[in-house]
Structure 1
């Protein structure tokens, strides 16, 4: 069985999830390859896609985004219309896959209409909501995808037949011809897919994202702090993501007032705040405590050290298909505080390895962070529970075996 993964990136959050599945499959002896646009690793089984010339690709990307930016509302999330041909079909055919696993491919990687020409069973891992919306990657509470898209709140204007309705119809016309199975990494996004008009008639499975628990493992906090030059005598509150403080969906606007509340509590002299995925701004916000910016951490070792150094990891995202920073933190023995919503509900066990706050209440977010900090002072049980959850639920081979069984079943059927 020859497995081929298609993914736009290799080093984004979605790209890391795709690469981890690929590595897990290799580890259990499967014949797996990945075809990516942006290759970062030295793995020979990860192949750089032969797209159009770099200059033409960049020009098309700029034109598409210039076109979109004129139509996106102020608080719109990422939006992809997927209109440019990829010229990938020949390269895919040469690799002769028996089954293709799609990952994050919606942003000008492989065109919607090209999928029907693959003539291969497809498994689509939901890195976000794009496969069943009219173009948005996260719906921001809009439920139009349940019926059909149009008059999109993330687009400027109020026409029913807008860009989202055009993209939605292109998907509807194409998806009906696909031999397609859908996999959600969390119960939440799987349920969204089942209720969507585009995927409601498809088989939808739930298989958690994975990580290498040998790479992401606890390091003595004092050692991790020494390496990262973080204070030894503070309770460290960690927060991080790509564009950590700029991406509205990551929830920094909710964490900020929660931290200010904690800084006015009895813990005020004991806490410090640590951020990765963002550099120190010219005019940093006063959070009421010392703040340390680690910048962008791209390698697993640096990330594992950051998680191990922390007393608590806070993932205040508004929406996540899964939430890999939470599972990574747990694997390093660090309790996690998040909102009791979307993909994070599958990762954090309330009051066992972290705290799930009422969505999206700042008071309860602050209460959860304080609860973890106070419990961490008293005993080590939260850290032990965190590591135990990661080993039992997110181990690399576990996800790989689930996917391999699914691929075999699809091909045998």
Structure 2
């Protein structure tokens, strides 16, 4: 099997004039998009952090929204659309499947030409779906590969969010995401393709949370590969505390009242985001609290009809500008995250950096971010009564006890600051690029 071009550059580090560690390590970050979705935002922020640390890092994407010259669009929109359609054709055999939760990764990609042209030292993979990446390509890459596990897809038989399913511990098959009862289904076949390709790959894994690290280590596909826990980074200079009243004025939000912030991409239509549980929780708040509470939602069309929630609602639609998002965090009293399954949500780290405490279900890696009743509150998963209780507890204290805000900010700076996260990645890159020592054999 022929290999794609290998790394050919020397890698050196040194001190710059400002005393900051400079690095000539040239990683190539790969993600389907540079701005759309949580993984894209995390990868693009890492790109910026690496470049500010002196690394000539670049990023390859299919869909480019930024004007950043370090981001390279490798496919036309038309070709990308066609490949996305072709990639999901096998899913037509599973009409009862969950939507938008399975990627076969079977369509040929552009990695060979891309690597020959850019000549990186290593490849740093992030989230690659919609026909952007073919599993078999991994076996052809003659260079170290770092892969950040933004969801469970790298170690599953094709699903991104397995929920309660644990079949990734073995060989997948009879996949509940596909609504399949056959062992030799698409999920098992994707699992087999991954096993074959991974065995010929030089993989080094990054898990943004301890929870994701545990799942990867116990998985049948990735359990034997080296793994580091490195969180997604956030710019704590941009995401910072500010005047609540001034932020509300800029966003045309009411100056009075307690604002609960809820949002995500497809926040209302994606069942995993838990909007149904939030609706029930808001109705269970004490009546005197409901009267002064306003739910501010974003991430969905402002024209999307909403059920009666028992509180006033302001829908802001989709917001992508970071400055507007910062104002949202500054304007709110509490962020609520009701997801059924999450890795390490950017939104929580961003909010905490702005001094906004969070109430969330205790799922996935959220406990790495929310320290219960110190930087926010954790509720039992999918329990609307527990969620209501924690929202009520925090709302009744957050204005009078500024310690929540300062603790959230401190936790974000110490754990998720982008400069710190970029440094951890550069240390990992140096380690994986070190020559593997050849073991001497005693032939006597």
Cα distance change on mapping 1:72 and 1:253 into 2, 3 Å: farther
Cα distance change on mapping 1:243 and 1:57 into 2, 3 Å: same
What is the DSSP-based 3-state SS (H/G/I as helix, E as strand, rest coil) of the residue aligned with 1:107? coil
Cα distance change on mapping 1:77 and 1:47 into 2, 3 Å: closer
Of the three residues 367, 370, 387, the one matched with 1:365 is: 387
Q: 1:121-132 counterparts in 2 under 5 A? A: 121-132=144-155
**Which residue is 1:393 aligned to?**
415
Of the three residues 342, 359, 378, the one matched with 1:320 is: 342
Whose radius of gyration is greater, 1 or 2? 2
What is the DSSP-based 3-state SS (H/G/I as helix, E as strand, rest coil) of the residue aligned with 1:283? coil
Q: Structure 1 residue runs of 4+, over 6 Å off?
A: none
Of the three residues 255, 268, 277, the one matched with 2:290 is: 268
Contact 2:80-2:132 within 8 A present in 1 as well:
no
Contact 2:152-2:159 within 8 A present in 1 as well:
yes
Cα distance change on mapping 1:9 and 1:57 into 2, 3 Å: closer
Report how far residue 72 of structure 1 moved: 5.2
Cα distance change on mapping 1:238 and 1:72 into 2, 3 Å: farther
Report how far residue 280 of structure 1 moved: 3.0
Instruction: For 2:72 and 2:248, locate their aligned partners in 1 and report how far apart those are by CA, in whole Å.
Output: 37
Per-residue Cα deviation, 1:177-202 (whole angstroms, up to 9, x for no partner): 01111000000001000000000111
What is the DSSP-based 3-state SS (H/G/I as helix, E as strand, rest coil) of the residue aligned with 2:284? helix
**Which residue is 2:120 aligned to?**
97
**Which residue is 1:7 aligned to?**
31
Contact 1:271-1:289 within 8 A present in 2 as well:
yes
Contact 2:127-2:150 within 8 A present in 1 as well:
yes
Cα distance change on mapping 1:234 and 1:87 into 2, 3 Å: same
What is the DSSP-based 3-state SS (H/G/I as helix, E as strand, rest coil) of the residue aligned with 2:348? helix
Instruction: For 1:59 and 1:411, locate their aligned partners in 2 and report how far apart those are by CA, in whole Å.
Output: 36
Report how far residue 360 of structure 1 moved: 2.4
**Which residue is 1:295 aligned to?**
317
Bigger drift between 67-76 and 178-187 goes to: 67-76
Per-residue Cα deviation, 1:209-232 (whole angstroms, up to 9, x for no partner): 111111111121101111111111
Per-residue Cα deviation, 1:110-157 (whole angstroms, up to 9, x for no partner): 211112212110000011110000000010110000111100001133
Q: Aligned pair 1:207/2:230, yes or no?
A: yes
Per-residue Cα deviation, 1:268-293 (whole angstroms, up to 9, x for no partner): 21101000101234532110111001
Report how far residue 66 of structure 1 moved: 5.1
**Which residue is 1:147 aligned to?**
170
Cα distance change on mapping 1:92 and 1:218 into 2, 3 Å: same
Report how far residue 69 of structure 1 moved: 4.9
Bigger drift between 151-160 and 195-204 goes to: 151-160
Report how far residue 93 of structure 1 moved: 2.0
Cα distance change on mapping 1:92 and 1:72 into 2, 3 Å: farther
**Which residue is 1:234 aligned to?**
257
Cα distance change on mapping 1:284 and 1:196 into 2, 3 Å: same
Report how far residue 28 of structure 1 moved: 1.1
Contact 2:86-2:107 within 8 A present in 1 as well:
no
Bigger drift between 275-284 and 338-347 goes to: 275-284
Instruction: For 1:106 and 1:61, locate their aligned partners in 2 and report how far apart those are by CA, in whole Å.
Output: 8
What is the DSSP-based 3-state SS (H/G/I as helix, E as strand, rest coil) of the residue aligned with 2:233? coil
What is the DSSP-based 3-state SS (H/G/I as helix, E as strand, rest coil) of the residue aligned with 1:38? coil
Q: Aligned pair 1:20/2:42, yes or no?
A: no
Of the three residues 32, 52, 67, the one matched with 2:57 is: 32
Instruction: For 2:99 and 2:60, locate their aligned partners in 1 and report how far apart those are by CA, in whole Å.
Output: 29
Instruction: For 1:44 and 1:197, locate their aligned partners in 2 and report how far apart those are by CA, in whole Å.
Output: 39
Gaps of 5+ in 1: none
Instruction: For 1:333 and 1:88, locate their aligned partners in 2 and report how far apart those are by CA, in whole Å.
Output: 41
**Which residue is 1:43 aligned to?**
68
Report how far residue 328 of structure 1 moved: 0.7
With structure 2 as the length reference, what TM-score do the two structures score? 0.90
Question: How many residues are paired up?
Answer: 410
Q: Aligned pair 1:164/2:183, yes or no?
A: no
Gaps of 5+ in 2: 1-24, 436-444
Contact 1:331-1:390 within 8 A present in 2 as well:
yes
**Which residue is 1:258 aligned to?**
281
With structure 1 as the length reference, what TM-score do the two structures score? 0.96
Instruction: For 2:92 and 2:248, locate their aligned partners in 1 and report how far apart those are by CA, in whole Å.
Output: 42
Report how far residue 75 of structure 1 moved: 4.3
